[in-house]
A and B are shown apart, each in its own frame.
Chain A
Amino acid sequence: MLIRSAPDLRDCDVTDRGLYLRRREFIYGAGALAAAGTLGLSAAEAAPLKVAKKTNLAGDEKPTSLKNITSYNNFYEFGTGKEDPAANAGSFKTRPWTVVVDGECMKPMRFSIDDLTKRYPLEERIYRMRCVEAWSMVIPWVGFPLASLLNDVQPTAKAKFVTFETLNDPKQMPGQRDRTLDWPYREGLRIDEATNPLTLLAVGMYGETMPNQNGAPIRLVTPWKYGFKSAKSIVHIRLQERQPATSWNLANAHEYGFYSNVNPEVDHPRWSQASERRIGEFFRRKTLPFNGYADQVASLYRGMDLQKNF
Chain B
Amino acid sequence: MPFANMRDRLIYLAVWFACLGPILWFIFQGFTDDLGANPIEYIIRQLGVWGLRLLMVSLAITPAAKLLRQPRLIRYRRTVGLWAFAYIALHLSTYVGIDHFFNWPEIGKDILKRPYITIGMTAFVLLVPLAVTSTNGMLRRLGPKNWKRLHQLVYVIVPLGVTHYYLLVKKDVRPPVVYGVIVTILLGYRLYAWARQRRERALKAAAKAAA
Contact = CB atoms under 8 A, between A and B. Distances in A.
Interface of A: 67-68, 71-72, 76, 80, 82-83, 133, 135, 180-181, 251-252, 267, 270-272, 274-275, 277, 279-280, 282-284
Contacts of B167: 270
A270 B171 CA distance: 12
B172 A80 contact: yes
Nearest to B33: A67
Interface in B97-149: 98-101, 103, 106, 109-110, 113-116
Given A80-B172, A270-B167, A280-B37, 10 more contacts: A67-B37, A68-B37, A72-B38, A80-B171, A83-B36, A251-B171, A272-B113, A277-B40, A279-B37, A283-B101
Contact of A72 (B36, B103, B113): B36
Contacts of B100: 284
B172 A180 contact: yes
Interface residues of B, number: 22
B170 interface: yes
A283 to B, nearest CB: 6
If over half of A's interface residues share one DSSP class (helix, strand or loop), that class is named, otherwise mixed; here it is loop
Contacts of B36: 71-72, 82-83
A106 B99 CA distance: 52
A277 B38 contact: yes
Nearest to A267: B113
A80 B174 CA distance: 11
Closest 5 CB pairs of A and B: A72-B37, A80-B172, A68-B37, A279-B37, A180-B172
28 contacts: A72-B36, A72-B37, A76-B171, A82-B37, A135-B38, A135-B41, A181-B171, A252-B171, A270-B114, A270-B116, A270-B168, A272-B106, A272-B109, A272-B113, A272-B114, A274-B106, A277-B38, A277-B40, A277-B41, A277-B99, A279-B37, A279-B38, A280-B37, A282-B40, A282-B98, A283-B101, A284-B99, A284-B101
B26 to A, nearest CB: 16
Contacts of A135: 38, 41
A82 B110 CA distance: 24
Contacts of B109: 272
B37 A71 contact: yes
Contacts of A80: 171-172
